[in-house]
Chains A and B, each alone.
Chain A
């Protein structure tokens, strides 16, 4: 046993040659992932130079050559981005939608988990869970297809509203309401799925703690406050930090599928704008510059939140 510990548990002290002879297969295992990440993710980063160039697609022989042959313009695109009124507006929209989703959908998942945790009938619990996970498996294209028929002016919802109140709601064209539509369709899709993690945390809480509290005469709220929440607060914090790290992503795919030009004022976010500039106006340089900005800020946020989480909670994504 002694000998084993010496040779196996302190590989950190070996010389690399010796280490490599024993653990070469760890490197072998890493190769496919590395090839992938270097080939498909790192190599294409040469495309980022577009942000500092005036891209002319037909400048050279083939598109790669054009990429290199286009003229350098320094920080011109960044300057024009930061100066434009659009930029602050897009940033504001991005943060607003992100924070709205955070404020509503984040607690909602916790509440759902708490509710599911209280169900004692196992069949009912199982069926309810299966059902609330369902929307997660639908793509945004399909979800949009479903909701647009439900919520258009002659859809079921407005039919009912008209019959009851004589009024209808323009879910898709009223800029203020549309934001709520974004938030609530995401609640619909993801709340059940996000609850899984908390639910697991809840079932891990020691039953004895509850029994003790119960004997002490603690009511539901008291138990919630003193036993339940402390039990899952680490997971909540971790999830919160992870979400904060991704705050610049307001739901690109969702918005792109669901929005229309009448709600640009409130629903156009950084990533959708990048997409429209790149594709609609074929201005790949500005789109790349914006994307680079988004990536950089996102990266800093993500890394710092992960760091904080590791320091404070001892848990992290990586």
Chain B
């Protein structure tokens, strides 16, 4: 009896320590971001002097006022939203359509097609070739040139395929008996059952689109089609221009504070969305990797 009580105490202590450690880990995850937020709301002199820790000093909204006023920020934000929405939709459609046949063992040609996807996962023609590709289709300086490169991730395709394989055969069979072809089965039976998976993959694509800048760097030379990340990249690496643009306004603000504000504004959309789809992606990821 005494031993059991001791053990229970030990477990309770263990659990408390565990909780504390997790709390610290969680802090480590948010604090750097908190620092950014604090900085974005702080006055120029405090930022420049490096006095900011995790709460704003000489609180101000000027940084946001400036960032949101900048026409280029606004247009690139709009572009990123368009690219992300359209891209996610297209990518999700292609991925679902491609994954469904591959999940069927009886799909003839499955192995060949699968190998094609595996092969292209690792072999790519290089920068010059994809540039030629975009140029040939007259897609330079378009939003489409930023959508195409990410429109199919083989990794997501494989996860999707595994999801579909996990749907019990009999459910689909019953649809077959009713005379439904594969497409109708997919639309009316399989997709409704796969909402968590679809949400997961959609989130993956959305994050990839929202965060990408590499392709824009290759294909975009017009300010009005730049995505947000490219704007940010330029702001972070070469922000000195800020002072040339408007020395009068810029003198009251700090480059660091401005960067922080731009970072906060640009990450907000994703940070606002993901907690709400969390239960889906946790489920989605799980099915994808546990079932084999």
Contacts and interface: CB of A to CB of B under 8 A. Distances in A.
State if A and B touch, Cβ cutoff 8 Å. Answer: yes
Interface stretch (A33-41, A84-92, A169-177): A33-41
Given A23-B106, A155-B50, 13 more contacts: A30-B98, A30-B102, A32-B93, A32-B98, A47-B125, A48-B126, A119-B19, A132-B25, A156-B52, A188-B29, A188-B32, A200-B282, A318-B161
B245 interface: no
Interface of A: 4, 8-9, 11-12, 16, 19, 23, 25-30, 32-34, 36-48, 50, 55, 63-64, 67, 112, 115-116, 118-121, 124, 127-139, 141-142, 144-147, 149-150, 154-156, 159, 188, 192, 196-197, 199-201, 204, 219-220, 235, 238-239, 253, 278, 284, 287-288, 291, 295, 298-299, 302-303, 313-318
A291 B32 contact: no
Contact of B113 (A23, A30, A42, A303): A30
Contacts of A314: 292
Nearest to A16: B108
A19 B211 CA distance: 43
Interface centre among B32, B104, B213, by most chain A C-beta atoms within 10 angstroms, is B32
**Helix, strand, loop or mixed for chain A's interface?**
helix
Interface stretch (B55-63, B64-72, B81-89, B128-136): B128-136
A44 B108 contact: no
A299 B117 CA distance: 12
A130 B275 contact: yes
Given A145-B263, A200-B286, A29 B100 contact: yes
Contacts of A239: 289
28 contacts: A4-B177, A30-B101, A33-B94, A33-B98, A33-B117, A36-B152, A40-B133, A41-B120, A46-B125, A50-B128, A64-B132, A67-B128, A115-B22, A118-B14, A128-B22, A128-B25, A135-B33, A146-B36, A149-B260, A155-B50, A156-B53, A196-B282, A201-B290, A278-B126, A287-B126, A287-B127, A315-B292, A318-B118
Interface of B: 7, 10-11, 14-15, 18-19, 21-23, 25-26, 28-30, 32-33, 35-36, 39, 50, 52-53, 93-95, 97-98, 100-102, 104, 106-109, 113-114, 116-133, 135-136, 148-149, 151-152, 155, 157-158, 161, 173, 176-177, 181-183, 186, 207, 210-214, 229, 232-233, 236, 256, 259-260, 263, 266-267, 270-271, 274-275, 278, 281-283, 285-286, 289-290, 292
B127 to A, nearest CB: 6
Nearest to B14: A220
A166 to B, nearest CB: 17
Given A130-B278, A146-B35, A313-B292, A8 B173 contact: yes
Contacts of A156: 35, 50, 52-53
Contacts of B260: 149
A291 B275 contact: no
A141 B232 contact: yes
Contact of B232 (A12, A25, A124, A142): A142
B158 A200 contact: no
A93 B63 CA distance: 41
Contacts of A199: 282
Contacts of A316: 292
